[in-house]
A and B are shown apart, each in its own frame.
Chain A
Amino acid sequence: EVQLVESGGGLVQPGRSLRLSCAASGFTFDDYAMHWVRQAPGKGLEWVSGISWNSGSIGYADSVKGRFTISRDNAKNSLYLQMNSLRAEDTALYYCAKESDGGEYFQHWGQGTLVTVSS
């Protein structure tokens, strides 16, 4: 059974940094691209970033480009999101999602980790 477990969220002041982690199990992690998707309170889904199986291809939403860095450690079956220069508008539930075999859509999601940016 595929499991994705996010961690690292919390309350952080504007301008500070936070690192999210996603621990994956139940599948061959280094066979799949992985993504982060966020959802602000009461709002819709927003794709944040994605990384290919070998980290050779990485993409970011314009809203986080230059501030967030996605990475992965295949030896540890883990996905990361380094978030710097955080803003109030980054407040959201951050989901880790596994890319499906057929393309960049998501059958498997974690439960999410909440990031609150506030002074």
Chain B
Amino acid sequence: AIRMTQSPSSLSASTGDRVTITCRASQGISSYLAWYQQKPGKAPKLLIYAASTLQSGVPSRFSGSGSGTDFTLTISCLQSEDFATYYCQQYYSYPPITFGGGTKVEIK
């Protein structure tokens, strides 16, 4: 199975900061990568698919990049509603689908 490694596992940031989260695949996955945001007590929300395509309705301050094994999710100007946990997910090799371990974005 392809292993997805996210870093950092948590970070503290302030409103207005630029935040970057990294996801690394244990083997090449082309651009078959999705990013999700999850808030406590809620189901995950799809932010980005195909590594860089913004899901409809998601604010443009979110962006994704990368291909192959290395990917990033960037929040250009952190808003209060962005404090949450973020997960990457590969869908290049199925089954199984695999998720990264998550990155918790907390208020500094």
Evaluate contact between B43 and A112: CB separation under 8 angstroms: yes
Whether B96 contacts A61 by the Cβ 8 Å rule is yes
User: Is A46 within 8 A of B91, CB to CB?
Assistant: no
Of A72-80, A81-89, A101-109, the segment with at least 4 beta carbons within 8 Å of chain B is A101-109
The number of chain B residues touching the other chain, given as a range, is: 20 to 34
Do A47 and B96 touch (CB < 8 A)?
yes
Question: B10: shortest Cβ distance to chain A, in Å?
Answer: 12
Inter-chain contact A59/B43, CB cutoff 8 Å: no
Kindly list chain B residues whose C-beta atoms are within 8 Å of the C-beta of A46.
Answer: 99
Contact of B99 with A103 in the complex, beta carbons under 8 Å = no
A45 to B6 Cα, complex, angstroms? 13
Known: A45-B99, A47-B96, A61-B96. A105 touches B91 (CB 8 A): yes
With an 8 Å Cβ cutoff, the count of chain A residues facing the other chain is: 22
Q: How far is the CB of A94 from chain B (nearest CB, A)?
A: 11
- B43 close to A110 (CB less than 8 A): yes
Out of A50, A95, A110, which one reaches B97, CB within 8 Å? A50
Q: Which 8 pairs show the lowest CB-CB distances between chains A and B?
A: A59-B95, A109-B43, A105-B34, A104-B91, A47-B97, A45-B99, A44-B102, A107-B46
A–B complex contacts, Cβ < 8 Å, 24 sampled: A35-B97, A44-B99, A44-B100, A44-B101, A45-B36, A45-B38, A45-B44, A45-B87, A46-B99, A47-B95, A47-B97, A59-B95, A61-B95, A62-B1, A62-B96, A95-B43, A100-B49, A103-B32, A103-B49, A104-B97, A105-B89, A105-B91, A107-B55, A110-B43
